[in-house]
């Protein structure tokens, strides 16, 4: 009788039992930490990000500040203004960067 992870055969009566796990994409490996390290990293980063957002929210509530941040540095600049001149274009990109990435320096250094 020959035995392996994928199949088992008996040469006496020609019995063949196949494990279809490999066909579905499952393979036996000893490198589990290597395979899941990015999943664990993602979970840790998302957890840290959530903790930071919650702490910022409670910090702002305890100081009497608004819980939402302003999304624009230059509220009157729109996409159409970006094509007029360089100054308006830079203002538009500053708004976009502020919207996309946030700017918490105003709460840290604004005292």
Confidence of residue 39 (pLDDT cuts 50, 70, 90): very high
Work out the percent of the chain whose per-residue pLDDT is above 70: 71
> Which of 64, 72, 70, 66 is closest to 96 using CA atoms?
72
CA 76 vs CA 16, 20, 27, 57, 91: distances in Å: 75, 62, 58, 27, 10
Q: Which segment of 82-86, 87-91, 94-98 scores lowest on mean pLDDT?
A: 94-98
Task: Please state, in angstroms and rounded to a whole number, the distance separating the CA atoms of residues 88 and 50.
Answer: 35
Count of CB atoms situated within 10 Å of the CB of 98: 17
pLDDT number for residue 37: 92
Question: In b/e form, how buried is each residue of 68-78, taking b as 16+ CB within 10 angstroms?
Answer: eeeeeeeeebe
Mean pLDDT computed over 59-86: 82
């Amino acid at each position: 009788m020959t035995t392996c992870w994928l199949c088992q055969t008996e040469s006496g009566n020609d019995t063949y039992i196949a494990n279809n796990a490999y066909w579905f994409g499952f393979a036996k490996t000893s490198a589990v930490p290597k395979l899941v390290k990015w999943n664990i990293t993602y979970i840790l980063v998302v957890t840290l990000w959530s903790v930071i957002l919650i702490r910022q929210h409670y910090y702002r509530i305890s100081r009497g500040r608004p819980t939402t941040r302003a999304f624009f540095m230059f509220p009157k600049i729109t996409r159409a203004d970006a094509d007029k001149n360089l100054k308006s274009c830079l203002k538009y990109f500053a708004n976009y960067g502020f919207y996309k990435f946030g700017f918490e320096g105003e709460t840290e250094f604004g005292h």
